Amino acid sequence: MTEHTVIPAGAYPHYSAIMTPEQLQAMRAHAQTDPDAFWLEQAQRVHWFKNPTQGFVGSFENDVSISWFADGTLNASVCCIDQHLTDKRDQVALISQREAEGRSESLTYRDLHERVCRLANALTYLGVQKGDRVAICLPMVSEAVVSMLACTRIGAVHVVMFGGCSADAVAERLVDSGARAVITGSMAWRGKKIVPYKETLDEALQKAGENSNVKAMLVVRTSDEAVPMLPGRDYDYHDFVDHFEADFIPVPMNAEDPMFMLYTSGSTGKAKAVVHATGGYMVWAAYTMGMVYTHQPKDVLWCTADVAWITGHTSVVYGPLANGGTTMISDSLPTFPAPGRWLDLIDAYKVTMLFTAPTAVRAMMADGDAEVNKRDLSSLRLLGVAGEPINPDAWLWYHDVVGKKRCPVADTWWQTETAGVVLGPVPGVQSLKPGSATMALPGVEVALVNTEGRREEGPASGALCIVRSWPGQCRTLWKDHDRFRQAYFSMVPGLYFTGDGARRDEDGYYWITGRMDDVINIAGHRLGTAEVEDVLGEDHRIVESAAVGVPHAVKGQALVVFAIPCKSAATEVNEKDISRLIASQIGRYAAPDAVYLVPDLPRTRSGKIVRRLLRKIASGDTETLGDLSALSDASLVETLCAFVQKQA
């Protein structure tokens, strides 16, 4: 009965909580009664050139418009660097552990300032101006952090892309965003595998052809091997950038000026770019990270997320640096080259706060307690997770074995669109329930909406919605405000719909039950099943397909694809072809765990594919298939079950 375990806030005498439960209560009450005053106070966590006097202006109704702190001006790189140059000049801002090269680099706030300014000058020289988009596709190297900050210093909008994306996906994003410059690396190691960054970018730019606006590409050399460089377009990052001046006057940005975009998957169509605004995002990053991951002197926060995810933006770069902390990045894997690798790094770098994905916790758990017990780990004072549901067993293992019951575990629920934590505990202040992301931070009101569209009160289940705007809310989808409105504000008019379902218990704690739309979550990577089906739909050898997520012990979910091959196809298609096709169009992370070539898909009489059934068949859960009488051909179910069994 782990679901009923409650660990009182006071269970961690050595954890220095940032406030008392009474203070948290008072903060909630203040945020409730005077939200504008509350958020304008929170806005003081960051440095403004011109202080804002306006809080929220806008509406979730009609066209949906969202603006925060609209009369303020600021620069994100100043919030993250210059703001600390008086008192924290020589404090380490960034530790970059390079597994592949067996070394690490530490940059102080002063070093970071110098590097960011040089790159800001170099990008300006290359013609990048305020409002231009710059694509960043880099492994976990210090240049990734420097690049993001340099863009914000100029006022350029960064678009960080995941190294696991295929050339096709990168090409699409380069064209869609109209990026003017690209910053990439030659390659990276992921365990024993090579991630060919430069090669992928070259191929992407070739595919994009004249539709690309990319004028220059900076290449960080991440290995000794020579990489082909295109004269006039490609520049060796350090050979080029290091000659520029180490000072750059930051460009003042209006709070509502876009700061960055991130591509993410939705329930329909292709990946969409979520747009975040400078002022609201910075305040929200400083606030949410300050409430959950408070930096104290000597704290080292290691958030293991890739910079290409929202966690990599908020919990690796902007949150910790805005709060004047030390943040660590690493290109290592949790259990490679040997079990316990991350545990070794915690000891080596005296990590005090570890923040990772449930998948990584489960991977470490699979290696057994002995690996953990061999290490010291006494530097740790806080543990955190985000990105996907964590099962109470894994939560308790993380808490009891890794944290030795000394460290609170903060399970935080958020999204690319929310930019920072929405549901999550203030550690040491609230009791914890393993598997629950606790409740909303002060200033945020969430609601559960039932199938009739009404808000539920008390203990209940429903669609998780957010009632009022919060500063870090994404403002729109790049070039598609209509899709923005449709995707988030049409399901429950007047509320932001998250796409997730949740349950609220008798203590007001929230338990995420998973996505309610056709988005799946593989090891924390978000993927739309429609994206996969679109790729297959474009192949003439496939009549129709359905992609579903099934439970997976380590990855949380895995992708399974059912496809109907074309009978008259001149060239036959096999399961491997389908896997390869998806990996080449979307990325390696999207390659399915299983592909079934089937004669047909289960449909209702009106022809709608019954995914619920496919999910059950794919996960071998065939005992409780439920009522099949609404299907157009119930006998097909048996055939499909046989297909799955045969390949298992």
Half-sphere exposure of 562 (CA within 13 A, CB side): 25
Query: Which residues does 630 contact at the CB level (< 8 Å), separation at least 6?
Result: 604, 605
Nearer to ligand WT7, 499 or 592 (CB): 499
Nearest residue (CB) to ligand WT7, 60 versus 309: 309
**Exactly one of 99, 111, 132, 388 binds ligand WT7 (CB under 6 A); which one?**
388
Residue of the chain from 290, 320, 403, 499 that contacts ligand WT7 (CB under 6 A)? 499
Helix (H, G, I), strand (E, B) or coil at 239: helix
Cα separation, 228 vs 225, in Å, equals 10
Report yes or no: 593 and 561 within 8 Å, Cβ to Cβ.
no
If binding means CB under 6 A, how many residues of this protein chain bind ligand WT7? 22
SS (H, E, C) 460-515: EEEEEEECCCCCCCCCEECCCHHHHHHHHHCCCCCCEEEEEEEEECCCCCEEEEEE
Beta bridge partners of 510: 504
Cβ proximity to ligand WT7: between 70 and 277 the closer is 277
d(C-alpha 392, C-alpha 229), whole Å: 50
Nearer to ligand WT7, 101 or 480 (CB): 480
Compare residues 279 and 424 and give the one whose CB is closer to ligand WT7. 424
Q: Which residue has the tokens 């690996």?
A: 371
According to the binding rule CB under 6 A, does residue 115 interact with ligand WT7? no
**Closest CB 518 distance from ligand WT7, rounded Å:** 12
635 to each of 537, 561, 600, how far by Cα in Å? 25, 20, 11
In this complex, which beta carbon is closest to ligand WT7, that of residue 42 or of residue 416? 416
Angle between helix 197-208 and helix 167-177 axes, rounded to 10 deg: 60
- Beta pairing class for 73-74 and 103-108: unpaired
Please tell me whether residue 414 binds ligand WT7 under the rule CB under 6 A.
yes
CB 170 within 8 A of CB 184: no
Near ligand WT7 by CB under 6 A, which window of 31-39, 321-329, 480-488, 494-502? 494-502
| Least spacing, CB of residue 195 vs ligand WT7, in Å | 19
Q: Do 512 and 413 meet the contact criterion of CB atoms below 8 Å apart?
A: yes
Place of tokens 């298992």: 648
Provide the greatest CA pair distance for the chain.
74
Q: Per CB under 6 A, which region of 35-43, 178-186, 386-394, 612-620 contacts ligand WT7?
A: 386-394
Q: At closest approach, how far in Å is the CB of 598 from ligand WT7?
A: 28
Q: Does 413 sit near ligand WT7 (CB under 6 A)? A: yes
* 108 sits near ligand WT7 (criterion: CB under 6 A): no
Please report whether residue 356 would count as binding ligand WT7 according to CB under 6 A.
Answer: no
Q: Does 491 bind ligand WT7 (CB under 6 A)?
A: no
Hey, what are 314's tokens?
């908020």
> Among positive and negative, which fits the CA dihedral 516, 63, 422, 74?
positive
- The closest of 391, 392, 390, 509 to 459, measured between CA atoms, is 509
Letters for 134-153 (x = contact with ligand WT7 by CB under 6 A, - = none) are: --------------------
Beta carbon nearer to ligand WT7, 155 or 164: 164
Q: CB count, 10 Å around CB of 483?
A: 16
331 touches 188 (CB < 8 A): yes
288 binds ligand WT7 (CB under 6 A): no
Residues 293-352, interacting with ligand WT7 (CB under 6 A): 309-311
Two tokens, residue 135: 């694509």
Give least dist CB 305 to ligand WT7, A. Answer: 7
**How far apart are the C-alpha atoms of 133 and 387, rounded to whole Å?**
27
- By CB under 6 A, which span of 72-80, 91-99, 496-504, 607-615 interacts with ligand WT7? 496-504
Candidates 73, 264, 304, 359: give the one binding ligand WT7 (CB under 6 A): 264
The binder of ligand WT7 chosen from 73, 332, 412, 579 (CB under 6 A): 412
Amino acid identity of residue 256, one-letter, is E
Q: Does 387 bind ligand WT7 (CB under 6 A)?
A: yes
Measured CA to CA, the distance from residue 466 to residue 445 in angstroms comes to: 6
> Where do the H-state alpha helices sit in 526-573?
529-537
Binding-site member from 290, 324, 389, 434 for ligand WT7 (CB under 6 A)? 389
DSSP conformational letter for 83: G
- The CA distance from 26 to 20, in Å, is 10
Please pick, from the candidates 115, 173, 341, 526, the single residue that binds ligand WT7 as defined by CB under 6 A. 526
Q: Please report, as residue ranges, which positions from 426 to 485 form the binding site for ligand WT7 (by CB under 6 A).
A: 437
Least Å distance between CB 45 and ligand WT7?
20
Closer residue to ligand WT7, CB minimum distance, 227 or 463: 463
| DSSP code for 456 | P
CB nearer to ligand WT7: pick between 99 and 306: 306
Nearer to ligand WT7, 312 or 334 (CB): 312
- Pick between residue 60 and residue 497 the one whose CB is nearest to ligand WT7: 497
Q: How far is the CB of 416 from ligand WT7 (least distance, A)?
A: 3
Shortest Å, Cβ 421 to ligand WT7 = 8
Q: What is the DSSP string of 332-355?
A: -BTTBSSTTHHHHHHHHTT-SEEE
Q: How far is the CB of 28 from ligand WT7 (least distance, A)?
A: 20
Is residue 512 at the binding interface for ligand WT7, with CB under 6 A as the rule?
yes
User: Helices in 194-246 by DSSP H: which ranges?
Assistant: 197-208, 237-241
**DSSP state, 250?**
P
Smallest distance from ligand WT7 to CB 415, Å: 4
Q: How many CB atoms lie within 10 A of CB 227?
A: 19
Q: How far is the CB of 572 from ligand WT7 (least distance, A)?
A: 36
**What are the residues binding ligand WT7 (CB under 6 A)?**
264, 309-311, 386-389, 411-416, 437, 498-500, 512, 515, 521, 526
